[in-house]
Amino acid sequence: MAAACPCGSGASFAGCCRPYLRGEADAPTAEALMRSRYTAFVRRDAAYLASTWHASTRPLDVAEGLDEAEWRGLEILGTTDGLEGDDAGTVTFVAHHATGAISMGQHRETSRFVRVDGRWQYVDGDLS
């Protein structure tokens, strides 16, 4: 049985985020990009995170801090625009994580995405 995709879509990794992380396909929507970036956080794929981070807001060291959280699940709460015909959109999500052995937390954010040269990129987000 194929491994489930870490993003929680219900699809297999091979049939969901893997083609995006490998650069074999571009995420068609802001939500798909958001899911693939969550999967990249789970897999500590700094190169993919850097490649999908808008140049204006990308940290100098994307890998910094990547090892600190254990990600336990993603819930997409809502989206605005960000579809195949759009150039911008937002995705609101909760990402559950454990830090250390016992501390559980969640990261809730409304993220902004724009399309640059046909490819969705993460710009920034508001914590909520």
Catalog residues that contact Zn ion under the rule CB under 5 A. Answer: 5, 7, 9, 16-17, 35
- Closest approach of Zn ion to the CB of residue 5, in Å: 3
Q: Which is nearer to Zn ion, 16 or 95 (CB)?
A: 16
Q: Which is nearer to Zn ion, 17 or 95 (CB)?
A: 17
Q: Which residue has the tokens 């989206």?
A: 79
SS3 state at 31: helix
18 phi and psi angles, rounded to 5 deg: -55, -45
- Closest approach of Zn ion to the CB of residue 35, in Å: 5
- Closest approach of Zn ion to the CB of residue 38, in Å: 8
User: Do β-strands 88-99 and 103-116 pair in parallel, antiparallel, or remain unpaired?
Assistant: antiparallel
Q: Which is nearer to Zn ion, 83 or 126 (CB)?
A: 83
Q: Which is nearer to Zn ion, 35 or 112 (CB)?
A: 35
Are residues 120 and 113 in contact, defined by beta-carbon separation less than 8 angstroms?
yes
Sign, CA dihedral 104-10-93-62, equals positive
- Closest approach of Zn ion to the CB of residue 71, in Å: 13
Compute CA distances 25 → 11, 89, 114, whole Å. Answer: 16, 20, 17
